[in-house]
Structure 1
């Protein structure tokens, strides 16, 4: 198994990708923020700035327990002091995976998103 750190060069961006048929948390591609901060002398835990990554999803959809499509608009905010950022194409593919996946409730979708993002 290859344990080398993930880099943008290895990311899905710019590569042909199959669209997911179902929810799959493994599609999220985390890129260590430290890789670009270290050359600038920025140390984790001592950031000289504050901020966040903000993602807008103008259509997040899933199926309810009966198979009826549910659509929502979402905003995701990831703090700048988090250890990783999410590669954009992997984020899109991940969210598209919800389209044909059943969830018991809106809250179940939110819990799934929060759990997955906490592990990025």
Structure 2
């Protein structure tokens, strides 16, 4: 899986890094530890979320940067990706549901941008 150039362009992200990696087992353990049980059933949808997101965003906090992908199923599922600087790859660090209020707030503030379906 990769971060598409169209997503980078939409977010104004300038990086050569595109490849995405994750450990399904490691992510599942993380979700269970954080009690994100409601999103476990979406683990098999990660490829769909990456390839066909409804919204994407860039969360910058100090020197840290995270890409956010949101796909609206029955719940709004958000994937969070960060760059692994030693491997020059993005990796999925978390996955959780966000309610409609949070989704709408992030859209209104400009943090999340709608992805055009082509």
Q: Please, what TM-score do these two structures have when normalized by structure 2?
A: 0.30
Which is greater in Rg?
A: 1
Structure number with higher relative contact order (C-alpha < 8 Å, ≥ 6 residues apart): 1
Q: Relative to total residues, which structure has the larger strand share, 1 or 2?
A: 2
The structure that is helix-richer by fraction is: 2
* TM-score, length basis structure 1: 0.29
